[in-house]
Amino acid sequence: MGQVILGVGDYGASNTPGDDVKTFALGSCVSVIFLDPKTRTVGMAHVALPDSSINKAKASEKPGYFADTAIPALLELMSKFGCDKRGRGLVVKLCGGANVMDTNDTFQIGKRNALAIKKALWAYGMGAVSEDLGGNFSRTVTISVSAGQVVLSSPGKPNWQL
């Protein structure tokens, strides 16, 4: 039983029973979650910004950092576990995209991240079956490979499933 821990801009996957894929403290960042019922593989990307054009060097070094590069990178990784490279058959879930630091709602990074991720998913003919986006609180996300469950937590709130 292990954990695949993802930081900001990281992406990872596992199909090892007993493993968890986890990321901490999503604020304006958005977690893109892929679950493949056929191969029992789960994958996640911790996306920080919507568009890689602002820093092509960072995008090539850490493609999970940007919405437009995270989706193809995660699909490529999932394909190494036997999942369809174009995302066919994957269950998609999204969470995060909160407004935790921008009290005046000036930059709307969370909303922009969520929209950019949806746009990137649509290019593959994919869409989320469930989402927990927005609000003004951070989220920690844990995906259980064995159960195929996505559990969210936030300080002062009971855990909930997505």
Please count the other Cβ atoms lying within 10 Å of the Cβ belonging to residue 51: 14
Domains annotated on the chain, with CATH: 3-161 (3.30.1330.200)
Which residues are tagged catalytic?
29
pLDDT above 70 for 41: yes
Which phi and psi (to 5°) does residue 78 adopt?
-60, -35
Strand-by-strand arrangement of the 157-161 sheet: 3-6, 20-26, 139-144, 150-154, 157-161
Q: Which residues pair with 40 in a beta bridge?
A: none
Q: pLDDT value at position 115?
A: 96
Q: pLDDT value at position 157?
A: 95
Q: pLDDT value at position 108?
A: 85
Strand-by-strand arrangement of the 130-133 sheet: 11-14, 41-47, 30-36, 91-96, 130-133
Q: What is the mean pLDDT of residues 8-36?
A: 96
Q: pLDDT value at position 94?
A: 98
Among candidates 134, 135, 130, which has minimal Cα distance to 149? 130
Q: pLDDT value at position 26?
A: 94
Among candidates 130, 134, 140, which has minimal Cα distance to 162? 130
CA distances (Å), origin 56, targets 48, 69, 70: 14, 10, 13
Q: pLDDT value at position 104?
A: 61
Q: pLDDT value at position 96?
A: 96
Q: pLDDT value at position 100?
A: 77
Q: pLDDT value at position 75?
A: 98
Q: What is the mean pLDDT of residues 15-40?
A: 96
pLDDT in tens, 130-147: 999 999 999 999 999 999
Task: Kindly report the pTM of this predicted structure.
Answer: 0.94
pLDDT in tens, 74-131: 999 999 999 999 999 999 999 999 987 666 666 788 999 999 999 999 999 999 999 9
Among candidates 64, 33, 32, 30, which has minimal Cα distance to 144? 33
pLDDT above 90 for 34: yes
CA distances (Å), origin 116, targets 7, 30, 67: 20, 10, 6
Beta strand pairing status for 20-26 and 3-6? parallel
C-alpha 32/C-alpha 43 separation (Å) is: 8
Among candidates 155, 13, 60, 44, which has minimal Cα distance to 98? 155
